[in-house]
Amino acid sequence: MKRYLRRVRMVEPVVSAAERELFGGPLRYDMGWAEHERAPLDLTMLSAIRSMPRLVGGTLRRAWTADRPALLAVAAGEVGQGIAAAVGLLAVNAVMHALLGTGAAADRLHDALPALVAGALVAVVNAGLAGLSTSRAGRLEPLVERIATTEYLEAATAVELEAIEDPEFRRLIDVAQYGAASARRMIGACVAALNGTISLLATASILTVLHPALLPMLLLIAAPRGWGAMRVAQERYVSVMNWIEHVRASRLIGHLLTERDAAQEVRIHGVGAFLLGKYRAMAESAEGEQKRLADGKALTELVAAALSGLAMAGTYGVMLWLILSGHMGLAVAGTAVIAVRAGSASLGALVMNVNQLHEESLYVQDHDRFLAEAARRAIPAGGRPLPERVDRVVLDQVTYRYPDRDEAALDGVSVELPMGSVTAVVGENGSGKSTLMKVLAGLLLPQSGTVRWGGADLAGLDRSQVFDRVSLLTQDFQRWPVTAALNIRIGRPAREAGPTELRPSVEYAGAAPVVAKLPHGLRSLLARMFRGASELSGGEWQKIGLARTHWRTETCAADSVLIVDEPTSALDPEAEIAAFDAIRRLAGPHRAVVLVTHRMSGVRHADTIYVLAGGRLAEHGSHDTLMAARGRYAAMFETQAAQYAAGPRAGVPHPSAPPVPEPS
């Protein structure tokens, strides 16, 4: 019994031996939805009731925007049901009076008839109102979910890239994704809570009218049930939060066992049987928790029912005394018995609904928090227009540091990109090349220094116009799960184009043989997760990416910048040479091409080569100047050249062979 006097507390999660071995402890994702996990358990009835107006207010506001008549119909339906419940009880009271009156049985039945008919009518009206409310609430639910989802997606696509790369914001995006479904469920929970409240009020007022002593009695009977429902909900919540660790861990293992990328090692290294054993061990500890929870729930409900029963016995005792001492009529007592039963059931349901409302609202609050933060970090709309001709794009003393890093990824870097030129950027891994490209593209705004399009500072320009002038082809360009044609056209999706319009881009990228191999040519779906879709190799995809870039550049007549970041990593040597040639051919009088690559053979023909080292500009100039300077560039170039020139074994360690015994 002692356990019932304590508050339900969060306990440290049970970690199975399997989890310890695999993950070194409980698996805690750095993911948003785990955020409520360790929040103090705030599920007391009082705190739930206190936050109710705000929560319900938010849901009502969404529903009001979604479909006003439907919301009004739901409200009318619910209030109507409350009134019907009260009238129903009055009818019951009248029937009781008639039945328990004096006179012959037939006369009493006759007297009761009008009230019985009225009660039946009220029941019919009640059913009709319930139907109306259900149908309108059902209409509101998807609308509210759509509104919330659209808000979420719109906000997520409108923020600066820096926000997307900020782990804090990513976490928020992650939590907020559950908000829309919760907003939908809140409609149902709100309606149910409203229904519970109104019918409880109706019952309570009728009871007060019948006899003032009945209301406290109702509360006495209902209180243990309310407490039981609350306690079960709290225990479930705590358990879910602890159990989440196991669920996640076993889900991860299930995913690994079926995942395509892991398939080879699962088989060759025998990882399958090993992980399956761990999965079993973890499932067993999770099942133990479920059993504990079910037992606890059964016990709590039993205690609540016993307490409620005691209160009920007490109430009936008091009623008996009231009747015997002439303070209460028999008919009133009969009605009161029915009302008390109905009232305690509504109170139990109300507690559950308020609880659910509270749980869902945690997620809806995250949704609202995300929208507010996303609005703060959105790419500003509007700005000065970008002139059609800009002559050159200049990065002047640009410094950029990622939000979660101490060191700057770019430190006072200046680069000049005249239209009609080809510029190359080289440097070791992590030297800041890709970051420089993101700054150039207008995706990241430098913390100091400026990016200028002609004379205009990027900071004041209409960013959508800047994006319109940039083409970007990166190593990990998006492989959209759509048709081959759309995978090319999506370079400028607003522009309609059929196979004829796309043909030059396909030819240009050398993708014609790739398309010819596809079962339905350009109309083939490129998405391995869908039936009937085709799969391309890494190099074949890169040709599609190049075609997309061509389509994008060819559909922009104004001065523009083409950024190519490591485009050839998956290409065979011949295709690589062809790709570098193709990229150079994209240079035009109104286009500046920037090429980032580790293949030094691809950069020697560039007009200017910039060499980055540790986020700073080490040197720049043409291939010949840089070779003559004998600096970092010359060293990098010669190292790569030497690999091809040297003999097959130069500098490569070979395995030591076990001594082979001389044949005797």
Please name the residue ranges forming H helices in 477-565: 484-489, 499-508, 512-517, 538-554
Helices (H), 259-270: 263-268
Distance CA 13, CA 241 (A): 9
**Does 431 sit near ligand ATP (CB under 6 A)?**
yes
Q: How far is the CB of 183 from ligand ATP (least distance, A)?
A: 31
Distance CA 6, CA 112 (A): 51
Buried b / exposed e over 304-334, threshold 16 CB at 10 Å, is: beebbeebbeebbebbeebeeeeebbebbbb
Nearer CB in complex with ligand ATP: 485/583:
583
| Three-state SS letters, 86-105 | HHHHHHHHHHHHHHCCCCCH
By C-alpha distance, which of 88, 99, 94 is closest to 114?
A: 94
Q: How many Å apart are CA 108 and CA 77, to the nearest integer?
A: 35
165 contacts ligand ATP (rule: CB under 6 A): yes
Q: State whether residue 148 is helix, strand or coil.
A: helix
Residue 432 in the binding site for ligand ATP (CB under 6 A): yes
Of 65-73, 271-279, 304-312, 427-435: span binding ligand ATP (CB under 6 A): 427-435
Shortest separation between residue 596's beta carbon and ligand ATP, angstroms? 7
Work out the number of other CB atoms within 10 angstroms of the CB of residue 19: 24
Residue 25 binds which entry of Mg ion, ligand ATP, none, CB below 5-8 Å type-dependent: none
* Cβ nearer to Mg ion, comparing 234 with 434: 434
In angstroms, the CA 368 to CA 496 distance is: 37
Residue 84 host element (H or E): helix 68-99
Nearer to ligand ATP, 444 or 562 (CB): 444
Beta strands in 419-484 (DSSP E): 422-427, 448-453, 456-457, 470-474
Q: Shortest Cβ distance from residue 284 to ligand ATP (Å)?
A: 40
Judged by CB under 6 A, the residue of 188, 427, 510, 602 near ligand ATP is 427
- Closest listed residue to residue 417, CA positions, set 386, 452, 460: 452
| Residue 409 sits in the site that holds ligand ATP (CB under 6 A) | yes
Per the rule left: phi > 0, alpha: psi between -120 and 50, beta: everything else, 630 is: left
**250 versus 434: smaller Cβ distance to Mg ion:** 434
Q: Cβ(373)–Cβ(365) under 8 Å?
A: no
Interface segment toward ligand ATP; rule CB under 6 A; list 84-92, 399-407, 452-460, 635-643: 399-407
> Which residue of this chain has its Cβ atom nearest to Mg ion in the complex?
434
Q: Say which entry of ligand ATP, Mg ion, none residue 617 contacts (CB below 5 to 8 A, set by partner kind).
A: none
* Of residues 474 and 534, the one with the C-beta less far from ligand ATP: 474
Q: 429 is in the binding site of which of Mg ion, ligand ATP, none (Cβ under 5 to 8 A by kind)?
A: ligand ATP
Answer with the entry of Mg ion, ligand ATP, none that 119 interacts with (C-beta below 5 to 8 A by kind). none
The span from the CA of 477 to the CA of 382, in Å, is: 28
- As measured in angstroms, the least distance from the Cβ of 613 to Mg ion is 14
Please report whether residue 402 would count as binding ligand ATP according to CB under 6 A.
Answer: yes
Q: Report the residue number, 177 or 434, with the smaller CB distance to Mg ion.
A: 434
- For ligand ATP, the closer of residues 173 and 244 by Cβ is 173
Residue 405 interacts with which of ligand ATP, Mg ion, none, CB < 5 to 8 Å by class: ligand ATP
CB of 592 to Mg ion, least distance (A): 19
Counting residues that bind ligand ATP (by CB under 6 A) gives 13
Alpha carbon distance 378, 157 (integer Å):
9
Which residue number, 486 or 609, has a Cβ lying nearer to ligand ATP? 609
Of 237 and 400, CB closest to ligand ATP: 400
**Which CB sits closer to Mg ion, 286 or 425?**
425
Q: Are 378 and 259 in contact (CB under 8 A)?
A: no
The gap from C-alpha 170 to its chain's centroid, in whole angstroms, comes to 10
Element (H, E) at 367: helix 330-376
The residue (of 15 and 583) whose beta carbon lies closer to Mg ion is 583
Q: Which of 9, 260, 405, 649 binds ligand ATP (CB under 6 A)?
A: 405
Distance of closest approach, residue 160 Cβ to ligand ATP, in angstroms: 12
- The torsion angle over the Cα atoms of residues 117, 121, 122 and 124, rounded to 10 degrees, is 140
From the list ligand ATP, Mg ion, none, pick the one residue 312 interacts with, judged by a Cβ distance below 5 to 8 Å according to partner type.
none
- Asked whether position 568 contacts ligand ATP by CB under 6 A, the answer is no
Per-residue buried b or exposed e for 370-386, using 16+ beta carbons within 10 Å of the residue's own CB:
bbebbeeeebeeebeeb
List CB contacts of 131: < 8 A, sequence separation 6 or more: none
> Using N-to-C axis directions, what is the helix angle for 179-210 and 45-66, rounded to 10°?
110
Q: Is 567 in the site for ligand ATP (CB under 6 A)?
A: no
Shortest spacing between CB 432 and ligand ATP, in angstroms = 4
Q: Which of 139, 225, 433, 552 binds ligand ATP (CB under 6 A)?
A: 433
| Residues that bind Mg ion in the complex, under the rule CB under 5 A | 434
Selected from 435, 487, 505, 542, the binder of ligand ATP by CB under 6 A is: 435
Q: Does residue number 430 form part of the binding site for ligand ATP (CB under 6 A)?
A: yes
- The smaller minimum CB distance to Mg ion, of residues 434 and 560, is found at 434
CB of 511 to ligand ATP, least distance (A): 25
**Contact positions toward ligand ATP, by CB under 6 A?**
165, 402, 404-405, 409, 427, 429-435
